[in-house]
Structure 1
Amino acid sequence: MAEHQLVALAGVFVLGSLAQWIAWRLRLPSILLLLVFGFVAGPVTGLINPDELLGDLLFPVVSLSVAVILFEGSLSLQLVELREIGKVLGYLLTLGAGITWLLTTLAAYFVLGLEFHTSLLLGALLVVTGPTVIGPLLRQIRPIGRVGPIARWEGIVIDPVGAMLAVLVFEAEAAIQAARFDVATLDAASGLLGTVASGIFFGLLAGVVLEFVLTRHFVPDYLQSPVTLMFVFASFVASNLLKHESGLAAVTVMGVYLANRHAVPLRHILEFKENLTVVLVSSLFILLTARLDPMVMMDFGWRGLLFCLVMLLLVRPISVFFATLGSPLSWAERGFLAWLAPRGIVAAAVASVFAIRLGPEAGRGLVPATFLVIAVTVVVYGLTAFPLARRLGLAMADPQGVLIASAHAGARAMAHGLQEAGFPVLLVDTNHWNIQQARMEGLRTAPMNILSEQAVTDLDLGGIGRFLGMTSNDGVNSLAALRMADIFGRAEVYQLTPARKAEKQEEAAHHLRARFLFGPEVTYEVLDKKFAAGWRIKITKLTPEFDYAAFRAQYGDEALILFTCQNGQLTVRTSESKSVPAAGHKIIALVGPDGNSHA
């Protein structure tokens, strides 16, 4: 017995990690392989029986894991984004969620044939989308404009909303069964307000106290992550004890608060939470899928497929249409949002918890229906979202924007030149002063460590097609280039020439597949000295009358060509660049303090 439990427990982690690895190699949504592996390990082979393995601890473990996942996701939410998307997001989280709840309930009742109470509960659960699924899709698509931030915010904030709605349904049903029809509505309204208030109070309390502890250096670096996890668990449990299922709101509020308090050192916390979240998501999907009853799935038959089609073709489009009515979003942006609502781990976890509460008969069909929607939405959206975004003009097959690792004065000057030439730029830096200066200058920024997992998962890369490693640390530039090659491809990843470019270092750089920027002698120190001496960025358009030879005659051989562009295509100059810019090209160059513009 003990040996079997040991094998099963190890199998959860082994299968979860293996599914993530294979999905990465095959460039498939990891959730698909996790569902397959969990189903094979559970109902098919019987290798893993979660109820026997963890017993009464199963759902407390699931609840705490979901809390960590939501907290980690909420750390990527910047309130500054709400200036542009706040109104639309508010309607999606209220009116859109209400319409989704109503229509899903009707579909579950009339199509799947579930009991009305179960249908009402399923409708509340399927209000949520999936941040663990939407994040990878957005990284693949890199949508332009407002739809990326809207989808990311909705995917995280809607999860506690769905959980709270499920609690309201559960409590209202108890009141109705007790023939208290006159107070059921009042109970539901007061329950909602109490849940929201409890989540906000404990989330802010935990965030403020943790901020005080970290900024006053009461906790050493190596304990920052465990102490933060302690606060996450404490706020989650305390809020749940006061108002059931309000803990998800509490950890979300806590994460958003900390993410927007720039004095809080988040580097250690983010790195720890990112790794922990991958493990938790993998393990939870294996455990929860292993509990599925295949007979119930088979009982749905054609009705299950029809239900999923209703969710895809009617419920989501209708809810987005009414939630965005009168908004500044274009029809293309509305169409893309209407076709992006994959469900993920939160829906699966909360459905499993409530199925236990309802009992085997009343809750029959709740979990299989949820997992069916998860599987279908992940497959359909995963295969079609990117082609649709390109068709709608919200994603480019060859994006020309630039991601720059650094926001120092030189990087900011280059960013201004690129923006003036018509190319989107995103600056990433951990230096608060650099980020603040860049924002004051009107540049788009992201305050994070370029080497963190957050830089891969949470950056809004809409319109971005290449990476420039321009920090003062050559090792960081090389490692960042290696990571970004998986996103942008080897040909569009660049770094500044290392300060000491010995032969072995050149081989290492080649192995990392990064290309040296601008010239063989252009290091961070060289650029920094030039900008400090008053060198400036100049944009010059070459014509038959003012060709490249005239450019050199005007600015001298010392002028450093950084980029050239023609017909909307940007070319980054490297140490290997040999071509001579011709008439029709725009040159973005670094020229001496006495240079004049011929734009």
Structure 2
Amino acid sequence: MPESILLDITIVIVLGVGAQWAAWRFRLPSILLLLLVGFLAGPVLGLLSPQSLQGDWLFAFVSLSIGIILFEGGLSLRLSELREVGGTVLNLTTIGALITWGLGAAGLHYILEYNVPLSILIGAILIVTGPTVVIPLLRHVQPKGRVGTVAKWEGITIDPVGAILAVLVLETLLLLNDPSRAEAGVNAAVEHVAIGLGLEIFVALGISVAATMLLVFVLRQRMVPDFLRNAVTLMVVVAAFVVSNVLQHESGLLTTTLMGIALANQPFVSVQHIVEFKENLQVLLIGSLFVLLSARLELSALEYIDLRVLVFLGLLIFIVRPVAVFVSAVRSNLDWEEKAFLSWMAPRGVVAAAVASLFAFQLRPVYPEAVDGMVPVVFAVIVGTVAIYGLTAAPLAQWFGLADPNPNGLLFVGAAPWVRMVARQVQANVLSETVLDEVDLYGLGRLLITIPNDEVASLTALHFSEVFESTDVHQLAAGPDSRHGGEDEMPKHMRGRPLFGGSTHYQSLKEHVDEGGTVALLTLADDYAEDEQQEYYTADELSDHYDDFSLVPLFILSEGDVEVVSEMDQFRLRPDDRLLALLGPEANEPGSLGKPGTTDGGASPVEESAFEVVDIHDDENDGAEE
């Protein structure tokens, strides 16, 4: 393999994955960074030559990659989700698609002055949104209830619909411009479209059902070992995509989408391992696709981006999308806030970019001058919609009350007395007047597993790995042998992050409470605040530093956040922070630790250790609402 080709492949992978990591790290829409690094690597810096990124191999790779991405998207769709929103989803992918197509084509013709055939074609391309942009955006926004389901279903199912319509329009244009068949006229073109649409649906349904049945049979009969399951699944998906395309041009996208939906909703075999594999593969494919497609642009493409393009973009965002949504949802059970949010959720993605690039290549002999601006305009719409929706969707959802601005909710698994004591104190603090506006526990952000069985706890951590990030799953060891180096320690990949610190485990905390320990809310004393806020501690160091009394740090409550004290973390206490800790029984002795509103003759060990008491748990707190 020539070194230049190997270098190009390496650059694409590094930029694709690196841009997605940077987007996650800095909370930016990943597609914006992917398009930016691709454009910089291609025409700007010349790391990737636009001339070398041409040819049938690229479009074949792009088409197959999109098919795999749509299959993965279909795996996330459950038919049970359609009970409430099925009609709305159907209307958005039919009526809404037609409205978007018609108004978009009109804007292309009257604003950008494209001829009618090209306006109709580009309008069909811009119907699609797609899972490559919608799913990451939904993951970032985390909307509640029906609106997230509608957006997810529309984003995945509209891709093959828009792609099929665009292909049929393209074939019609090529038919009408073919001198050998032009005399057939418009009637023949309409007939061609109708027959093509019917064949697309028939072939896609047939191939997807057959491929799904074959795959389910093979997996259910255990004809494939575990280590080959993902590979065999990918093989069947690719084969179904190719066979479908051979039988009917560009029907493969619909085939893989239907196959993913069918596989996700069959009751015979688990598809969890397939979902995890496809999610990892999707990261690589999405990154590679956007870098490759944006690197193909020439610097001269910027000449086509002018004020008219911005006006057209505004038309799509502020008029076309809201009209399509409100008309499609006119008889739905969605309230106006949900409709308004859906009106602000139509970013274009990799399918639009890929189809535009492919069609421009095929239409060049027919419209040699007009197609030069086709790809830049579509990319401008992609960048504009992703930037505007990506940067504003989350604040808008929070304003409408459809999303939690900062999901700090804590989900406790386990109900021992000491666990309820801790949870009650956290809740009582959150519901107090001084912090109610600072910490919103509407959304659940972290999982705390506090049960006296490591095996069950580990299974719980694995089960909830789909809901919570691995960094947000914390697991308390059952006993001393379950901690690092212990004979009963579970493998790292099968458990959550170690919860709390030092020799802390379930049994030690239980004994702590049984002997009279209590949960208290502490803050830094004024005399110590200036020095202590500069210190970073691990949970072990904090317990050791204040060894004149028994203290197990549990949570740090600060402005707008609830921080879980994990064994491996370092944290800093600031003057306004409060430390929720489990204190030893000596804290309840007379003269040792006074409850709020009381005075004691002796000096408190807590006060000597730079802490003041804000609140302390006692039986009166048991009446707090849960």
Structure-2 change in CA distance of 1:587 and 1:192 (3 Å): same
How far residue 172 of structure 1 moved from its aligned partner, in angstroms, is 2.4
Q: Distance in 2 between matches of 1:120 and 1:77?
A: 30
Aligned pairs, how many? 495
- Gapped runs of 5+ residues in structure 2? 428-440, 509-560, 567-579, 584-615
Mapping 1:468-507, distance limit 5 Å = 468-469=448-449, 472-475=455-458, 494-500=474-480, 504=484
How far residue 317 of structure 1 moved from its aligned partner, in angstroms, is 0.6
Q: Distance in 1 between matches of 2:393 and 2:80?
A: 27
Q: Distance in 2 between matches of 1:157 and 1:299?
A: 31
Aligned to 1:531: none
For the pair 1:251 / 2:248, whether they are aligned, the reply is no
CA contact (8 A) 1:355 1:367 kept: yes
Q: Distance in 1 between matches of 2:227 and 2:358?
A: 34
For the pair 1:521 / 2:474, whether they are aligned, the reply is no
Q: Distance in 1 between matches of 2:171 and 2:274?
A: 36
For residues 45-85 of structure 1, the C-alpha deviation after alignment (integer angstroms, 9 at most, x for no partner) is: 22213552564311111111111111111111111101111
How far residue 312 of structure 1 moved from its aligned partner, in angstroms, is 0.8
Q: Distance in 2 between matches of 1:585 and 1:294?
A: 68
Aligned to 1:107: 107
For residues 76-130 of structure 1, the C-alpha deviation after alignment (integer angstroms, 9 at most, x for no partner) is: 1111101111011000000000000111111111222223222211111111113
> Which residue of 267, 292, 299 corresponds with 1:294?
299
For the pair 1:376 / 2:384, whether they are aligned, the reply is yes
For the pair 1:271 / 2:308, whether they are aligned, the reply is no
CA contact (8 A) 1:143 1:462 kept: no
Aligned to 1:361: 369
Aligned to 1:385: 393
Mapping 1:153-168, distance limit 5 Å = 153-168=153-168
Amino acid at match of 1:580: H
Query: Larger Cα Rg: Structure 1 or Structure 2?
Result: 2
Q: Distance in 1 between matches of 2:225 and 2:232?
A: 10
Amino acid at match of 1:120: I
> Which residue of 196, 204, 218 corresponds with 2:209?
204
For the pair 1:332 / 2:337, whether they are aligned, the reply is yes
For the pair 1:15 / 2:15, whether they are aligned, the reply is yes
For the pair 1:464 / 2:469, whether they are aligned, the reply is no
Q: Distance in 1 between matches of 2:246 and 2:410?
A: 48
For the pair 1:580 / 2:617, whether they are aligned, the reply is yes
Amino acid at match of 1:521: Y
Give SS of 1:467's match.
strand
Structure-2 change in CA distance of 1:577 and 1:387 (3 Å): farther
For the pair 1:27 / 2:7, whether they are aligned, the reply is no
How far residue 495 of structure 1 moved from its aligned partner, in angstroms, is 3.2
Mapping 1:398-413, distance limit 5 Å = 399=407
How far residue 175 of structure 1 moved from its aligned partner, in angstroms, is 4.2
CA contact (8 A) 2:477 2:499 kept: no
How far residue 149 of structure 1 moved from its aligned partner, in angstroms, is 0.8
Q: Distance in 2 between matches of 1:223 and 1:243?
A: 30
Q: Distance in 2 between matches of 1:79 and 1:499?
A: 43
Q: Distance in 1 between matches of 2:245 and 2:409?
A: 45
Q: Distance in 2 between matches of 1:402 and 1:190?
A: 55
Aligned to 2:44: 44
Amino acid at match of 2:393: A
CA contact (8 A) 1:124 1:162 kept: yes
Give SS of 2:506's match.
coil
Aligned to 2:317: 312
For residues 451-504 of structure 1, the C-alpha deviation after alignment (integer angstroms, 9 at most, x for no partner) is: xxxxxxxxxx994344244784545666789997759x86xx543543555553
- Gapped runs of 5+ residues in structure 1? 422-460, 524-568, 589-599
Q: Distance in 1 between matches of 2:565 and 2:8?
A: 54
Q: Distance in 2 between matches of 1:511 and 1:225?
A: 25
Structure-2 change in CA distance of 1:483 and 1:269 (3 Å): closer
Amino acid at match of 2:217: F
How far residue 363 of structure 1 moved from its aligned partner, in angstroms, is 2.5
After TM superposition, the score normalised by the length of structure 1 is: 0.74
How far residue 328 of structure 1 moved from its aligned partner, in angstroms, is 0.7
For the pair 1:222 / 2:227, whether they are aligned, the reply is yes
Mapping 1:171-210, distance limit 5 Å = 171-177=171-177, 178-179=182-183, 180-210=185-215
Give SS of 1:52's match.
coil
How far residue 583 of structure 1 moved from its aligned partner, in angstroms, is 5.9
Q: Distance in 1 between matches of 2:216 and 2:623?
A: 51
Q: Distance in 2 between matches of 1:405 and 1:367?
A: 52
Q: Distance in 1 between matches of 2:563 and 2:294?
A: 48
CA contact (8 A) 1:85 1:150 kept: yes
Structure-2 change in CA distance of 1:224 and 1:400 (3 Å): same
How far residue 6 of structure 1 moved from its aligned partner, in angstroms, is 2.6
Amino acid at match of 1:79: L
Q: Distance in 1 between matches of 2:261 and 2:396?
A: 31
CA contact (8 A) 1:51 1:58 kept: no
CA contact (8 A) 2:478 2:505 kept: no
Structure-2 change in CA distance of 1:465 and 1:19 (3 Å): closer
How far residue 311 of structure 1 moved from its aligned partner, in angstroms, is 1.0
Q: Distance in 1 between matches of 2:56 and 2:114?
A: 27
**Identical residues among aligned pairs (%):** 45
CA contact (8 A) 2:220 2:268 kept: yes
Q: Distance in 2 between matches of 1:399 and 1:15?
A: 31
Aligned to 1:240: 245
Aligned to 1:119: 119
Give SS of 2:111's match.
helix
Aligned to 1:395: 403
Q: Distance in 1 between matches of 2:463 and 2:404?
A: 23
Give SS of 1:328's match.
coil
RMSD: 3.9
CA contact (8 A) 1:5 1:53 kept: no
How far residue 572 of structure 1 moved from its aligned partner, in angstroms, is 11
After TM superposition, the score normalised by the length of structure 2 is: 0.71
CA contact (8 A) 1:130 1:155 kept: yes
For residues 302-337 of structure 1, the C-alpha deviation after alignment (integer angstroms, 9 at most, x for no partner) is: 111111111111111110010001211000000000
CA contact (8 A) 1:112 1:303 kept: yes
CA contact (8 A) 1:481 1:514 kept: no
Q: Distance in 2 between matches of 1:2 and 1:321?
A: 54
CA contact (8 A) 1:228 1:269 kept: yes
Give SS of 2:447's match.
strand
Structure-2 change in CA distance of 1:214 and 1:155 (3 Å): same
